[in-house]
Amino acid sequence: MLQFSVNEQRCSRCQLCAKDCPASIIDASGIPLICAEDEAKCYRCGHCLAICPTGSIAILGYNAEQSTPLAGNLPAAEQMETLIKGRRSVRHYLDANLPKQEIDDLLQVAWHAPTGHNTQKVHFTVIDDKGVLARFRDKVYDGLEERIQRDGLPVNRAFFADFVRVWREKNVDVLFRGAPHLVVASSPQVATTPAYDCFIALSYFELYAQTKGIGTVWNGLLTWAINELVPSLVHELGIPQEHQVGYAMVFGPAAVHYARTINRGPAKVAFYR
Ligand SMILES: Cc1cc2nc3c(=O)[nH]c(=O)nc-3n(C[C@H](O)[C@H](O)[C@H](O)COP(=O)(O)O)c2cc1C
């Protein structure tokens, strides 16, 4: 049930909801309505609620009063540019937990990232406590060591042996970089675009986190460890079996702060004309 409803007094009959509906299921010849037989075609994207100039539309249990107005309320383009260019992979963290509320806030915002066909199936598995992270880290290094002793490593992942060695001998943690928290984005294999959905969600997570002084780093090493070298880690983390693990990211209160953006030279661009 979509719970689509229109405040008839407020509706200006502008028909924008019908024009913007990607499924073209809103009949706006009078007060906008969605026929019962068309409900299943709804993308559940909320465009009708978002575009309505008078805030007349409610759908999926939400109304305009529960939304943030957009007019004059977006970050300036230069602020976005600075955020994107100033984002850095953070590899030094304070030995402290983030408040749980702050972690939840990051996840709730990242949840608004787009997904293929708006399936909204991305699943975040989170470690929100540094003690638990330390326990999980031990399981990862133990699992890698067992794997090395039992089967060895594929040639293209042989470097993991060095990571285990420097952790054991020098307490240098190349895999987690001393971060107190972890988020792994996964998605059911049957979702339209499971891997892409995870990457996009974590990209949003990262950018939003860095506006708050929270460091993040994409964790390809841990992703390989989970997906290729120690698959039991999927079960250990409680990630549903039918899920594809998209990517891992560690995060926490940053112990480094960058003073400026960097330059990468011009983008590689080709125009088809
Ligand atoms: C998909 C992906 C995987 C990555 N994996 C790791 C990783 O396992 N460990 C790490 O320290 N950095 C990792 N990084 C960070 C890159 O090394 C980093 O983006 C690059 O050095 C440029 O630095 P910057 O992110 O600060 O611009 C990864 C980045 C991406 C996009």
Q: Which of 249, 123, 247, 108 is nearest to 191 (CA)?
A: 123
* Location of structure tokens 């100033």: 86
Cα 264 to Cα 77: distance, rounded to the nearest angstrom: 19
Q: How far is the CA of 265 from the centre of ligand 1 (A)?
A: 18
Instruction: Output the six-digit token pair for 251.
Output: 């995060």
Which pLDDT does position 119 carry in this prediction?
A: 96
State which ligand 1 atom lies nearest to the alpha carbon of 222. 8
Write down the pLDDT at residue 76: 96
- pLDDT tens digits along 222-263: 999 999 999 999 999 999 999 999 999 999 999 999 999 999
Residue pLDDT, tens place only, 51-84? 999 999 999 999 999 999 998 899 999 999 999 9
Pocket of ligand 1 contains residue 217 by CB under 6 Å: yes
Q: Is ligand 1 within 6 A of the CB of residue 224? A: no
In this prediction, residue 232 carries a pLDDT of: 97
- What lies within 8 Å, CB to CB, of 88 at 6+ separation is 210, 258
The predicted structure's pLDDT at residue 87? 98
pLDDT > 90 in the chain, percent: 99
Residue 144 burial class via C-beta count within 10 angstroms: exposed 0-12, middle 13-18, buried 19 and up: buried
What is d(CA 183, CA 218) in angstroms, rounded to the nearest whole number? 10
| Phi, then psi, of 182 in degrees rounded to 5 | -140, 140
Q: Which domains does the chain have, with CATH numbers?
A: 5-66 (3.30.70), 80-253 (3.40.109.10)
This prediction has a pTM of: 0.96
Average confidence (pLDDT) over 161-178: 98
| Residue 210 in contact with ligand 1 by CB distance below 6 A | no
CA dihedral over 160, 245, 210, 207, signed as positive or negative: positive
Question: Distance between CA atoms of 105 and 269, rounded to whole angstroms?
Answer: 36
- CA 239 from chain centre, in angstroms, equals 15
